[in-house]
Amino acid sequence: MVSVVVDYLRHIETDCVVNNVGELADYIPELAAVDPDRFAVSVAVHDGHVYSIGDSSLEFTIQSISKALTYALALSRRGVETVDAHIGVEPSGEAFNEISVDARTRNPKNPMINAGAITAAALLLDAGHDGDTDTGDVDEAFTRLLDFYSGCAGRRLSMDEAVYRSETASGSRNRAIAYMLESYGVMPADPEDAVDLYFRQCSVRVTTDDLAVIGSTLANGGVNPRTGRRMLDQVVVRRVLSVMTTCGMYDGAGDWVTSVGLPAKSGVGGGILAVLPGQLGIGVYSPRLDEHGNSVRGVRACRHLSADLGLHMFNVARESRVTIRSTYDGHELDVGADRSTVDQVYLRAHRERIRVLELQGDLTFSGTESVVRRVESIRTDADVIIVGLQRVGMIDEVSRRMLIGLRRSLREDGKEWVIVDPDGILVGKNRRSQERLPSNPAEAAITSTMAEAVTVAEDVLLKQAANRD
């Protein structure tokens, strides 16, 4: 059965793939040779579960998305004070490859433009806190960097040698930036070594699944939810997400923050990494770029996700993750006293075919996704699933649609569910006709009390038994 989340992501794919606007990044020869029609979206939720559609297993080079990770690694290894002494955190309002420095300090304005990213790479080459000059070796520095990237992604990553050679052969502008920084006295390592490490980090292969898991690692305060391994301190994560918010989408950052509202980083390879702190990570890939160097389809997909799922980080909700208060089977429910003796015997013998989930809190996307996944995991062992909303305060529009879609999916699979919704928060009286649900509670599978829900569930079991006979 197709998950309701995957089904939703496919709707996004259908809308986005018809858009053929944008150009490939032709200033790096290898990137100009990729298939422009590739498209993928992956979403990794708070526990590391990943939903994907499209070319989600296709590897592409991470490019400038790496800047956020290298900045995080530099903060972890060298400390905030040292990094701040070399790289600012102010938006530049300029293109990613502009030669942009602070007029007073001559430091790069932020780590998301090339000047700042090359400096961040240089900080990984410079001597560590103990004065160990071996950290200046590019190979050793890249090994540590790749280990860190891999830890955030939850699998071993590798470098694309062909793209690395292409970057090296066409990287005159980046070398010019590095030597300019050296001339200002602010380059903390050999310019050639710094640029070499920068080219290598941009050439690391990833998939949208990898980007989504990296995003969920940042969303989870630096702990990879799939492996349980802590990759970053929460203080570093907060700093990185803040800079991604203000600078991650280059001179399109303002429009991005207001319309999408997620910390994000794009790359000219066509990837976008986005994060909803505390909830999920998003990875998108489509190689056609807009005038800012951001994926055209990728930006469109992220706009959909933010608007449809209510992911803007400034949305106000009382609780970001719904709690499944309890789950149990029908053995904990009394059999209706008005049933015949034969029916009571049958219902007691098949009580495990009724499953109950009681929810509490506010239903937003992340919490509802957990509920949907729990229902999908128990559906094979149940004929009727009762979901209690008595302790739910509110439900947002996307969560309402997800639950309605889940009900339809269950019915198509020969299952039934019953919603206990005394306050009408899922489908109020004024919305029944809009949703085309019957007004009869038994037919609509929406009841006001648990007792009514049990009666409906028992009716379903008895009807199934009669049909088998």
- Residues with catalytic function: 64, 67, 198, 250, 268
> Which of the 8 DSSP states describes residue 191?
H
Q: What is the residue whose two structure tokens read 């990943």?
A: 50
CA separation for the pair 397, 12 (Å, rounded): 17
CB-based contact 198:121 (threshold 8 Å) = yes
Q: What is the residue whose two structure tokens read 């990094």?
A: 83
**Beta-bridge partner residues of 387:** 357, 419
Three-class SS state of 280: strand
Strands (E), 261-303: 264-266, 271-276, 280-285
Q: What is the gyration radius of the CA atoms in the chain, in angstroms?
A: 26
CB-based contact 175:248 (threshold 8 Å) = no
The separation between the first and the last C-alpha atoms of the chain, rounded to the nearest angstrom, is: 28
State which H helix or E strand residue 53 sits in.
strand 50-54
CA separation for the pair 274, 253 (Å, rounded): 13
CA torsion angle 190 265 294 211 (round to 10): 100
CB-based contact 173:244 (threshold 8 Å) = no
124: left (phi over 0), alpha (psi -120 to 50) or beta: alpha
CA separation for the pair 170, 135 (Å, rounded): 27
CA angle 385, 389, 394 (to 5 degrees): 140
- List C-alpha distances in Å: 460 to 376, 381, 456: 19, 15, 6
Residue 45 structure tokens: 């939720």
Amino acid identity at 20: N
Q: What is the residue whose two structure tokens read 């991005």?
A: 256
Strands (E), 349-383: 354-363
Strands (E), 299-383: 323-329, 354-363
CB-based contact 282:262 (threshold 8 Å) = yes
